[in-house]
Amino acid sequence: MERSVNKSAILIVLLFLFSVLSMNATAVSPSIHNNFELYIKGGIGLTIGAINHEDHTLHVNFTITVGIIRPPMNGEFYVPPGQSHEIRMINPFSLPLPITVTLSAENKSITRSGITVFVFVIFFD
């Protein structure tokens, strides 16, 4: 019993370290256009966002696919001129599942793939 608790504690610590390393090593996968930036971050939860340097409102679409059975989650948000907008999502107690996130605005898009484990999202690209 004590060994399984120790193994579980070690696993949780390792997952946390991988999450922090993933967040620091590839913290932001930006797509920088002349007048706006898109980014996707891992770590504890998933963070997507955009920074709008343009003089008109930026329309941003996102798609999040977790696993192979669930349908993709699609959404959109708007970023007013000269502002930024960020969405943070945490999926508690997730089994280890593959995750793919795509963020697009105007004619630019970025995609990141990785794995989600418990509350951590680790991107490999």
Is residue 47 a contact partner of residue 40, using CB atoms and an 8 Å limit? yes
Radius of gyration of the chain (CA): 16
What pLDDT is stored for residue 26 in this prediction?
A: 41
Token pair for 109? 């898009």
- Identify the residue with better confidence: 7 or 96: 96
> Is a pLDDT exceeding 80 seen at residue 11?
no
Q: How many domains does the chain contain in total?
A: 1
DSSP state at residue 3: H
DSSP string, 5-72: HHHHHHHHHHHHHHHHHHHHHT----EE-SSEEEEEE-EESEEEEEEE-SSSPEEEEEEEEESSSSPP
In tens, the pLDDT along 23-62 reads 444 445 565 656 899 999 999 999 999 999 999 999 999 9
Structural domain span for residue 85:
2-123
Contacts of 57 (CB under 8 A, 6+ apart): 78, 79, 80, 81
Token pair for 52? 């709008």
Of the candidates 98, 53, 62, 100, the one whose C-alpha atom is nearest the C-alpha of residue 80 is 53
Residue 71 sits in a domain whose CATH number is 2.60.290
What pLDDT is stored for residue 82 in this prediction?
A: 93
In tens, the pLDDT along 57-93 reads 999 999 999 988 889 999 999 999 999 999 999 877 7
Q: Categorize the per-residue pLDDT at 3 as very low, low, confident or very high, splitting at 50, 70 and 90.
A: low
What pLDDT is stored for residue 29 in this prediction?
A: 53
